Structures are given as structure tokens and as C-alpha cells.
Structure 1
Amino acid sequence: MSDSNEKPRNDLYEERVSQAKVVRKIVFFCVIGFILIGTILLTSGYFYIKNALGPMNEENPQEVEVTIPIGSSASQIGTILEEEGLVRNGALFRYFVRYNNESGFQAGDYVLSTAMTMDEMIAALKDGRVIQEAELVFTVPEGLWLEDIAGIIAENTEHSVEEVMEVLNDREYIESLIHRYAMLTDEVLQEGIRYPLEGYLFPARYDFLEDNPPIKEIIETMLDRTEAEVDPFLAEVEDGEYTLHNILTLASIIEREAQHSEDRYLISGVLYNRLEQGMRLQVDPTVSYALGEHRYMTTYNDLEVDSPYNTYLYPGIPIGPIASPGSDSIRAAFQPEETDYVYFYARYNGEVIYNETYEGHNQTHQMYRDEWIEAESEE
């Protein structure tokens, strides 16, 4: 009996050993295959980028006249160069510019060559020998509501506020922008959003060659500036807890609450602390936006307004931005200062006072609330 039992056991052992050898061979060849594929992809990528950064035609160079309009972004310049046959990939030009932190491109007329590398092209584009005169110049300050920005556009062009707002609320147009801009998603079309592009029109000075450019050209120029601001942070968004829409919403709150750069980063830290601890943000500018009225102070009745923008009534980050944040506020929203504070109070004079406890915060509030009452009465 022992001999008959031993033989099946030996057969089973040998079968398992054989299977293990087969598995090891499969794993070995899979690893080798992955290594080969990875090597091929890396090598191909290297030569593709090297080729893309090099001259388009060094052996039989041709000179090409190029016009760079005033206010052109790196993305727009890349598109122009690609269309003129001076670079292989306009998007790669933009990423190359971002990676090397290049800036200072000048509007003007250039004669560029297909024998130039991308580095040489960038150097030439900083010369700006023939600067074009701007026919329209206007500035959008930080922290404005979209309605106010529409007013500035109307004041400086022949377009009416109603015409500007009609374009800004055109769902079909917004959907087309979502397909064109990586920073825009369907979040801007959520039910309850007041204006889809609120917070996405970058506050800055704008120069246009025409005295009355089309409304869409103005909007897209402003969107280009916002995209250039957020582009360096997109990788962080992909790995983070919050969407870009969420972060721009926080940036808009920071913009409305802080007057000084150092406060923006600290207020950002406070907002993130409140979110992490499950506390409501409870910031007054969101209530003003929910009401649709600019206010110095919010009353207890105001805090009850039923709106997804009201951070006293609803937890978490509001449904969307409440203003257009500037560069500093956007960076602060991405790079909050580490702090133990969970409360802050903005005084009328711009000073911000921080506290770790509600008791301390309430004392601060009682001490300085009359400043806002007096300011409101003088309006």
C-alpha cells in the first residue's frame, strides 16, 4: 500500500515542479517583453522630441514671415509657428516654453527660418523689432464677479453688457470651449451654477489690435491667460483630492477675503484645515454671491439663503467660483501654508486675524465688527 501511495505523490510533485518552471518562464519572458517595449517607447519618445525640437529643414532652409499679435499666449504662438511650418508641434512648443520658464515674447513681425531650432526660435521671438500698436487696452482687476467683467468689456467696446452676457451664457458655445480647453470640464455646467465661466476669465491688462474685437475673441484671450496660470499645476490636480474647478473655487474665495499676499497663503491653509476637519467653510463672500449683492456685512437672515454657494448652509467647497482670482490667489490655493489655525477674521483695514479656537475668533469678531457697520453706514 505504501508503494502505490508514494508513486502518485511523486507524480504530483513533479507535475507541480514542471508547472512552476513554466510559470517562471512566462514571467521571465513577460518581464523581458515589458523591458523591451519600455525601451522602444523611451527611445522613440527621445528621438521624437529631439526631432521636434530641431530645425524643420536645415538642408534647404526657407525664410518665413510671421506676425505675432499683441497678447499672444505661448499656445497661440505655437499654433502660429506650426501653421507656418516652422515647428512640428505647436503643443510641444508650449510645453517646452513652460518647462524652460521662458517669457518676454514680443508682438511684432519676424522673418524666421526653417533651419532654426526651437531654442533659436524662442530667442528670436523675444526681439520684437516691429511692435504693433494696440487699438484697445483695458484692465480687469482681481476679484470681480463675471457680471462686472462683462461691464468692463462693454465700457471699452461697442458691445453691450447684454450681448456679452448672452455669449457667456450660451451653452452650445460653452460646450465647444470644454472640448478645446483642458481646464474646463462639465463641472461648469452643473445645475445650480450661476455663470459657467465665473472664475475662469483671468484678471489682467488686455491689448487688442482691433478697437472692437469679437466678444468670443475677448473671452478666449482671457481663458488663454487662465490656462497659462493653471497649466503648471495640472499634474498636481490629477494626483490630488480636488478637481481644478474645486481649487479655482477656493482661489476665488481667497481672492475675495485677502488683500495681502502673505494672507492668501495662510487663509488657504485655514480653508484646507476646515475641509479636512469636516467643518463648513463659513465665509461671507460666498453668501454675498449667493444673494447676488455686494455687501459689507452679512446678517443672520442672509446666512439662511438657500444656495449651493452658501458655505454657511452647505458643507464642502461651493459649486463653483465666486469671482476671478489673480495669480497669487491661484498659487495660494495650490500651495496653502501649513498652519493650525481654523478661523480667520478680515478687518475693514485689510488686516487678517487668525485663531485656533472659536472662543478666540468670537472675541475678535466682537472687537472689530463695528468697523464694518460704520463703513456700511457711510456708503
Structure 2
Amino acid sequence: MSDEKDKLKQKHIEKLQERQREASIVRRIVLVSLIVIILAVAGVGYGVYQHIVGAIGPVDENDDEIVEVTIPIGSTVTGIGNILEEHNLVSNGDMFRFYVRFRNESGFQAGDYQLTRSMDMDEIIEELKQGTIYQEYELTFTIPEGRWLDNVVARVADETNLTEEELMEKLEDREYLESLIDRYSILDDVILDERIRWPLEGYLFPARYDFVDEELEVEQLIETMLNRTTEVLSESGASGSNYSYHEILTIASIIEGEARNDEERARISGVIRNRLNISMRLEMDPTVAYAHGEHFERTLYEHLDIESPYNTYRITGLPVGPINNPGAASIRAALYPEDHDYLYFFHAPNGNVYFSESFPEHNRAVQQYR
């Protein structure tokens, strides 16, 4: 009996020892795994750190050769970054833009600069803030937001040496439009849709334009405005949107036509998104006016019956194209709509706008505040 107890005791001891050995092995495996993970994370972090340091550091600290660079009037941070990258003065133009935003830098000056590839990003930024505009403007004019393309053309013709006839002829020249599509990523064949009134409606960015020459070429003007639209879309993050550039500008143009102030834009954009998500007609009054080619003080029921790919009271989804040339605030609102459940809004004569989630609620707002 005593022998059996001793044997059982011995087996118990052996099991405990076996478990201790297994636990020791598991602990070693876990420890090694943790070390591997820590080293991997550290390696990735170090790699990212090295990439950032390399991007903001000199392209070649031993290259002191002077590089002549011209920063044109009206250049954005994106445009400046691209110019610096083209001249191999920074390794990445996008990193220059991100770094400028991180540092909250501003005040860059147009002009001619002498830079070197041995300069780091901080030195280049400081140099670009010290420049002076190299030539007085000979021609300056402003295109307001939300204007139809024919109004933009009339405004340009009033302010420049160009005529409405030559502008419209170029804006409707299919061969020229196809060449623009080949050169501009924001353009595609959709602008050549025969249902679209003016192919570049929505793409001629409304802004102040300054030119050093008093005499303009038609192509120079159009492409300067397209460049500005491209820069605004890029800086707004449009390339990451689920919408195409054409759809973004179409939504932005409706927001531009509807909003009375910047505070309303994102909320109106949310209404548009909510309606699109449930395949509900947009029923936006500015699209009706554009369909008629006539501005109305007030949209009446008789205006709603027009058959047009722009009339959102008759079609489901977006109109065939933009209905005006929207500004940066409306483009940003189109990309970043406010999250809410509103499906309706009403601009009252008192200047306020009332948003509603249901049609009965909307009707009550109309009856109360009209």
C-alpha cells in the first residue's frame, strides 16, 4: 500500500515538473513573440521617422549649385510644392504641403528665387516668405461665385481684351476640349455629353485673377481658371471622394445656388446626400432656373414641368452637369456634408432657413414662415 502511494506521489511530482517545463516553454515563446513585435513596430516607426526626416531635409546637402525658380502670382501651396518638386528642390511636393500646414506657415510671395538642393524645407520656406512680387499687375478682375458660364464670359469680356464671341467659340471647340481632357485629370469625356449646355460649366473657378500682361490669349485665360479649379479640388481632398470630379462640381454648384451663407452649405449638402442615398428626387429650385436658362425671383409650379436633364423636379439623381461655377466653400461642403436626417429645407422671407426631416414638418414650416 505504501509503495502504491509512493508511486502516485512520484507520478504527481513528474506531472508538476512537466507542466512547469511546458509553462516555461510557453513563457519563452510569448517573450520572443513580444520582442519580435516590438522590434517590428520599432522598425516601422523608425522607417517612417527616417522617411519624414529625409523628406524635410536637403535633397542633396552637398549640392550648392544655384537653381532658378519662379513662383507665379496666385500660386497655392500645392502649386508651389509641385514647382519645387519639378526642380528637385524637395523630394515630395505633397510632403511640402503637409509640412507647411503642420507648421501653419503662410505669406509666401510670388517672385524669382535662387535656391539650392542643399537647403532643407525650413530654409526654403523662409526664403519663399522673403520674396517680393516681381512685376506689377497689368490686369486684374474678379469672377464672383455661382455665375453661369455665359455670365462669366460676359464679365471677362468687359474686363479684358477678349470678346464674348471668341471666348464662346473656344469654349465650344470640341478639338480644344478634347485636348484639355487629355491634359487635366479633373476633366473627362462626360463634359462632351450633348445634353450639357456648356461643357466647362462649373470648371471655371470664381476668384480674383491677376495677370502681368494686359493682353490675354483665350487659352491662357481658360487654362488659368482650370488650374485654379484643379488646385482647389486637390487641396480639398477631392481625389479621395466616392464621387467623380464632375459629380463633386455638380453638387457644389447646387449648394452654391441654394446657400445664402457659409453656415448653410454643409447642412444643405447633407440634405442632398440624404436624398441621393434613398433615390429621392433632389427638387432644387436653382436647377429649374438653369433648365429654363432664366433666373426667377420665385420658382412657381408652372416652372417645374420643363423636360430637361437639369430639372431635378423631373429626374432622379444629379443633373447632367454643374449649373454654375461654384466657389471653394461649396466644393468643400460637397465633399464634407453635415451628418443629419434632414430631407427638406425652406428659405423664409425673414432670411432664416428651416430644415425638416419629414414632409409634414416641412409643410408646417412653409405655412408658418412664408
Shared fold (TM-score greater than 0.5)? Answer: yes
- Does residue 302 in structure 1 map to residue 303 in structure 2? yes
- State whether residues 199 and 322 of structure 1, in contact with CA within 8 Å, keep that contact through their aligned partners in structure 2: yes
Correspondence for 2:340: 339
Alpha-carbon spacing, 1:321–1:360, altered in 2? closer, same or farther (3 Å): same
Report the Cα distance in structure 2 between the residues aligned to 1:350 and 1:249, rounded to whole angstroms. Answer: 25
Instruction: Report SS of the residue matched to 2:288.
Output: helix
Q: How does 1:123-162 map to 2 (within 5 A)?
A: 123-162=126-165
Q: How does 1:190-209 map to 2 (within 5 A)?
A: 190-209=193-212
CA-to-aligned-CA distance 1:85-122 (integer Å, 9 cap, x gap): 45376xx3255315642543211222222322344323
Deviation at 1:209, TM superposition (A): 0.7
Structure 1 alignment gaps of length 5 or more: 1-38, 370-379
Q: How does 1:29-178 map to 2 (within 5 A)?
A: 54-74=57-77, 76-78=79-81, 80-81=83-84, 85-87=87-89, 92-94=92-94, 96-98=96-98, 100-101=100-101, 103-178=106-181
Deviation at 1:361, TM superposition (A): 2.2
2:306 is aligned with what amino acid? V
Match 1:180 to one of 179, 183, 203: 183
- State whether residues 251 and 334 of structure 2, in contact with CA within 8 Å, keep that contact through their aligned partners in structure 1: yes
Alpha-carbon spacing, 1:100–1:75, altered in 2? closer, same or farther (3 Å): closer
1:308 is aligned with what amino acid? P
CA-to-aligned-CA distance 1:135-168 (integer Å, 9 cap, x gap): 1111111111111111111111110111112222
1:332 is aligned with what amino acid? A
Instruction: Report SS of the residue matched to 1:304.
Output: coil
Report the Cα distance in structure 2 between the residues aligned to 1:88 and 1:126, rounded to whole angstroms. Answer: 17
Matched residue count:
323
Deviation at 1:79, TM superposition (A): 5.6
Report the Cα distance in structure 1 between the residues aligned to 2:157 and 2:357, rounded to whole angstroms. Answer: 45
Larger Rg: 2
Identity %: 51
Report the Cα distance in structure 1 between the residues aligned to 2:79 and 2:139, rounded to whole angstroms. Answer: 19
Report the Cα distance in structure 1 between the residues aligned to 2:76 and 2:335, rounded to whole angstroms. Answer: 22
Correspondence for 1:288: 289
Correspondence for 1:213: 216
- Does residue 236 in structure 1 map to residue 237 in structure 2? no
Deviation at 1:52, TM superposition (A): 6.8
- State whether residues 69 and 209 of structure 1, in contact with CA within 8 Å, keep that contact through their aligned partners in structure 2: no
Report the Cα distance in structure 2 between the residues aligned to 1:279 and 1:48, rounded to whole angstroms. Answer: 48
After superposing the two structures, state which structure 1 stretch, 217-226 or 286-295, moved more. 217-226
CA RMSD of aligned residues (A): 2.8
Correspondence for 1:279: 280
Instruction: Report SS of the residue matched to 1:137.
Output: strand
CA-to-aligned-CA distance 1:149-206 (integer Å, 9 cap, x gap): 1111111111011111222222222222222222222222223111121111211111
After superposing the two structures, state which structure 1 stretch, 247-256 or 214-223, moved more. 214-223
Alpha-carbon spacing, 1:165–1:50, altered in 2? closer, same or farther (3 Å): farther
Question: Could you state the TM-score of these two structures normalised by the residue count of structure 2?
Answer: 0.78
Correspondence for 1:323: 324
